[in-house]
Structure 1
Amino acid sequence: MSSPHDDAAPAKSTRFFATWNSGELTLLIGAVALITFSAFEAVATTTIMPNVVADLRAESWFSVASGAAFTAQLIAVVIAGPMSDWRGPRPVLLSGVGAFAVGLLACAWAPHITVFIVGRLIQGLGAGLTIVPLYVLIGALAEKKHHPTFFAAFSLAWVFPSLFGPALAGWVTLRFGWRPLFGVVPFAALVALIPLLILLSAMPPRSDTPAPQLRFLTSMAVLAGSGVFFVQLAGALTGWKLVVLSLLGVALCVAVLPRLLPPGLFTFAPGIPALIATRGLNLAALTGAVAFLPLVLQRVHGWDAAQASLAVTLSSVGWSVGATVQARVSRPVTRFRLPFIGATLSAACLVVVSFLILPSFPIWVALVASAFMGGGTGLLHSTASVIALDMTDVREHGKVSSWLQIADTAASAMQLAVTSIVLGLWILLPGMSGTPNAYIPASVLIVFSAILAVFSARNVQVPPQE
């Protein structure tokens, strides 16, 4: 049914975009298209990875094949920011989209698991080199008042892939196999790049920024990526191998990550450090919850995979709603309070979700909480991007964008890896394996990260005046 206000909607939308110049609209269209195809690839790959390793007769390589792109992306975002500040976003973005396409094509044609993993590594490098220059382009070309809309659109770009990606990927795999999913996305990404080529060609190269220490940054990035990868791999092992790889991975992360992130981040220092820490911790908690919810719904409450995916869908929709709400906040003081509001909302909902390990807990309550949990992250995540760009000079937008992406990637990867390791040790205790109590560590770690995010958000400074 139509409402009396439907006729006014197009005019309102037209008035809204009337304040945008052609460059901003072109950037919005191209960036959202790129992120949409990247999101679909990420969702589809998660869905079909069991089919991939089974077809390549490499079931034991599942964790490596799944985590390779994540590790490579962490390495890429370290160098993408300084490179964008030094040479401008154009060469970094073109290299990123090119590598993303080449990596996916390598996966599509892979005759062996080793070729597939190499393709995943190249694809991950491309993804990391793509997202950071998009942030830099927003800072350089878009008016500050339009920044919230850009980041809300980035969140909305995940809605369609999250809602329909798993089902579509499953249908394609069933009818045609998994390879077409890796073979089609590269061409779609290249088409999405076309609107951005006009903007990129008009941008002069940077010349007033000192060359970054690429050799040092690359070595640190490789060590950090290796640390995260070792912790991920340890979760799939047992015995002394689990212990050795866990200790090695954690040691590398502790030694290297502080050098790649702003000083004071691990102590929640006021300003940018606390802001980036809040976003990383909150996203880590959400990532853990998104992995935790379907598992508990199936193992404890007897739902099938299709039913259990409803929790993830509701979380994604909630995120998009939260991101849309933050885009409508114009008062600076209110915007600076959104990270705390979002972190608190997410933490409260995650506490509710954690009770899902109880067989008698009402499922509908947890599902509602999962939607509001995503809403809190939507308020926080996009707002953090806006505030971070607004608080830094345009010549340092690449660096701060890298910080945001490093924190997101490393925190989420470590959340999943540490949870996997702790769960593996926990179920060795008498009476734990095969019972709802086996998932207690996952609940505790998720809530712990969410509460840390709330404490960190308290140090996001509010500007002294409107």
Structure 2
Amino acid sequence: MSEGPFSSRYRLITVGAVVLVFVAAFENLAVTTVMPTISAELDGAALYAVAFAAPLAASVVGMVAAGLWCDRTGPRTPLLLSVALFAAGLIVAGTSVSMELVVAGRLVQGLGSGATTVALYVIVARVFPPVLQPRIFGLFAAAWVVPSLVGPFLAGVVGETLGWRWVFLGVVAIIVPAATLLRPALRLLRQNGAPDTAGADRPRIDGWRIAWSIVLAGSVLGLSVSTELEGALVYVIAAAALVVALIALRTLLPRGALRALPGLPSVVSTRLLLAGGFFAAEVYLPYLFTESYGLGAAAAGLALTASGIAWGAVSLTQGRFADRIPARVSLRIGSTLVVLAIGVVLLAAALHLPIGVVIAGWAVSGAGMGLAYPRLSVLTLANSTPANQGFNSSALNIADSSGPAMSLAIAGILFQAFGPTAGADAGAGAGAGGSGFVAVFVLALTVAVAAFVVAPRATRAADDAADAAAEGPTAKRP
């Protein structure tokens, strides 16, 4: 019987890695809960949006830097430094006496968070055998989803009892023990030595890639800021930022990713499109419930809770049965479920479907993401060598961030252009959700359909190789 992720050999490594992912996800949601309190206490309303955008932008730079560093020396030192940066950012934010210092802490925190994720991916590639990797990424997905169920509540309790500072400082007490659990993995990597990075796959110019990551971060910020502008300037700034973002992505993603070439390029582009479509719909779904169905904030969150539970449960399940379900099947079914779920949400906005149908439909989207997301992570490592595991892992995580960022910025522009309740009564239960919601969900559906179309190309090279092996050496070749 093969060893599992919680066998004696891997137990500490698995727990440490999963806890680090959990902490990053929890902190992301917890800060959302307490930021209004922070802004009020530190008179920081002017920097409220920046406090959220800063770590997102900085994480892109951290991902690229960690990926390049891992490819050159292995993930040991990048992991230790990235965890230290994450903790340092939390300490700065938690001890801040001004909103400017909170933003500075969030910047450092974002650098560390993005770099930590990439280093963990490389550790998974080099420590765990391929048969266990789907289960590890299933655990990672569950660790990211579970905080969405408990994070806001716990953050609210901590903020009300101990004060908002402990939402930052309390997490530091968890990070250090979690990082120490990875010591067996770090010792193993040290014994094995640094990978041989000589060859064509080695990153060409580190400085240029880092510079392009800064450009991408700036363009993502520009896209976000453009939604706050008025008149034609919105479209000018958004279009310019989108073009610059795509140019930067061309350098930071595997060659051919923006053209969805078969193999690794399509793995990354599928992730970008799937995340873009899913999150563009999910962010506006509670808004639809409150505006069009007259629900309160707590009730509107039921759809997200149902989706989160489905995502986590299916992620864990697919990890256990990954050897029985081919990757192409998981991606096809997963992307299909996301498309169908967004279609239900679109119909809800246009036709005012019963609320139960919409909540159940959106739970299906979580199941689809739970099927597809971990498999895309496994396929990324399967298409990597020790010389480019860091670069490819950073590319996948950049796609994770930039896809939603771009789609949400465009969604915001559409929502403003068409209006949240145009053509509909604004009262509770008044009928259609308005052309603004319809426009957003049409965008989300279009992006998700693109992911559905590209997904089969992600496994095409592996499928062709398997078919060739099955045909045997005497089979005719075109």
Whole-Å separation in 2 of the counterparts to 1:108 and 1:300: 38
Q: Percent identity?
A: 30
**1:177 alignment partner AA:** G
Distance 1:452 1:207, change over 3 A: closer
Deviation at 1:347, TM superposition (A): 0.6
Q: CA deviation at 1:21?
A: 5.6
Say whether the 8 Å CA contact 1:232–1:417 is kept in structure 2. Answer: yes
Q: Answer yes or no: is 1:200 the counterpart of 2:183.
A: no
> For the Cα contact (< 8 Å) 2:422–2:435, is it kept in 1?
no
Equivalences for 1:123-202 in 2 at 5 Å?
123-202=109-188
Give the 3-state SS of the residue equivalent to 2:132 in structure 1: helix
Structure 1 distance, partners of 2:36, 2:409, is: 19
Kindly report which structure 2 residues correspond to 1:68-87, keeping only aligned pairs within 5 A, or say none: 68-87=54-73
Match of 2:197 in 1: 209
Moved more, 152-161 or 424-433: 424-433
1:273 is displaced (CA, Å) by 1.1
Q: Write the letter of the residue equivalent to 1:443.
A: F
Moved more, 314-323 or 158-167: 158-167
Q: CA separation in 1, counterparts of 2:284 and 2:33?
A: 16
Cα displacement (A) at 1:405: 0.5
Matched letter for residue 265 of structure 1: A
Greater mean deviation of Cα atoms: 117-126 or 243-252: 243-252
Partners of 1:152 and 1:326 within 8 A in 2: yes
- Equivalent of 2:95 in 109, 129, 132: 109
| C-alpha contact 2:420 2:435 (8 A) present in aligned 1 | no
Aligned to 2:367: 375
Q: Verify: 1:318 aligned to 2:310, yes or no.
A: yes
> Matched residues in 2 for 1:235 and 1:158: separation?
28
Are residue 334 (structure 1) and residue 336 (structure 2) matched?
no
CA gap 1:51/1:19 in 2 versus in 1, 3 angstroms: closer
Residues 426, 432 of structure 1: 8 Å contact kept: no
Question: Cα distance, 1:227 vs. partner?
Answer: 0.5
Farther off after superposition, 333-342 or 236-245? 236-245
Structure 1 residue 22: deviation in Å? 3.9
1:276 to 2:260 alignment: no
What per-residue deviation string (whole Å, max 9, x for no partner) do you get for residues 381-434 of structure 1?
001111221232233211211111011111011111111122222239976895
Deviations 1:94-148 (A, max 9, x none): 1111111111111112222221111111111000110111111111111111111
For the Cα contact (< 8 Å) 2:420–2:434, is it kept in 1? Answer: no
Which residue in 2 is equivalent to 1:59?
45
Contact 1:432 1:438 in 2 (8 A): no
Check 1:380–1:374 CA distance in 2 against 1; reply closer, same or farther (3 A cut): same
Equivalent residue number for residue 12 of structure 1: none
Partner of 1:450: 448
TM-score by length of 1: 0.91
Which has the higher mean CA deviation after the structures are superposed, 249-258 or 450-459? 249-258
Aligned length: 452
Separation of aligned partners in 2, 1:279 and 1:112: 37
Supply the distance in 2 between the matched residues of 1:344 and 1:60 (Cα, whole angstroms): 41
Shift of 1:203: 2.1
Deviation for aligned residue 1:197: 2.4
Map of 1:248 onto structure 2? 240
Return closer, same or farther for 1:117/1:372 CA change in 2, 3 Å cut-off: same
Q: Distance in 1 between matches of 2:39 and 2:50?
A: 10
Contact 1:275-1:384 within 8 A present in 2 as well: yes
Which of 5, 8, 11 is 1:25 aligned to?
11
Q: Does 1:395 align with 2:393?
A: no
Question: Does the 8 Å CA contact 1:301/1:359 hold for their aligned counterparts?
Answer: no
Change (3 A) 1:360 1:278: same
User: Which residue type is aligned with residue 295 of structure 2?
Assistant: W
Structure 1 residues 174 and 328, CA gap change in structure 2 (3 angstroms):
same
Which of the residues 282, 295, 316 maps onto 1:290?
Answer: 282
8 A contact 2:223–2:237 mirrored in 1: yes
Amino acid at match of 2:352: S
State how far apart, in whole Å, the 2-side matches of 1:206 and 1:415 are.
38
Q: Report the equivalent of 1:305.
A: 297
Alignment partner, residue 439 of structure 1: 437
Maintained 8 Å contact 2:79/2:120: yes
Measure the CA separation in 2 of the matches of 1:306 and 1:125. Answer: 32
CA pair 276-443 structure 1, distance change in 2 beyond 3 A: same
C-alpha distance in 1 between matches for 2:351 and 2:44: 35
Deviation digits for residues 25-81 of structure 1 (CA, Å, limit 9, x no counterpart): 222111011111111101112222233223322223222111111111111112211
Note if 1:222 corresponds to 2:214: yes
Letter in 2 for 1:40: F
Structure 1 counterpart of 2:243, one-letter code: A
Q: Distance in 1 between matches of 2:30 and 2:128?
A: 32
**Aligned residue type for 1:327:** G
Give how far 1:231 is off. Answer: 0.5
Change (3 A) 1:430 1:130: closer
2:412 is the alignment partner of 1:410: no
Partner secondary structure for residue 10 of structure 2: helix
Given the alignment of the two structures, is residue 94 of structure 1 paired with residue 92 of structure 2, yes or no? no
Matched to 2:435, the amino acid is N
The alpha-carbon distance between structure 1 residues 22 and 355, as it changes in their structure 2 partners (threshold 3 A), is: same
- Amino acid aligned to 1:296: L
User: What is the letter of the counterpart of residue 214 of structure 1?
Assistant: D
User: Which residue identity lines up with residue 39 of structure 1 in the other structure?
Assistant: A
SS at match of 1:208: coil
Question: Match of 1:38, as an amino acid?
Answer: A
Query: d(CA) in 2 for partners of 1:92 and 1:433?
Result: 54
Aligned 8 A contact 1:101 1:187 in 2: no
Q: Which amino acid aligns with 1:316?
A: G
Amino acid at match of 2:196: D
Choose 244-253 or 212-221, whichever is displaced more.
Answer: 244-253
Give the Cα–Cα distance (whole angstroms) in 2 for the partners of residues 239 and 407 of structure 1: 30
Distance 1:349 1:428, change over 3 A: closer
AA at the equivalent of 2:448: A
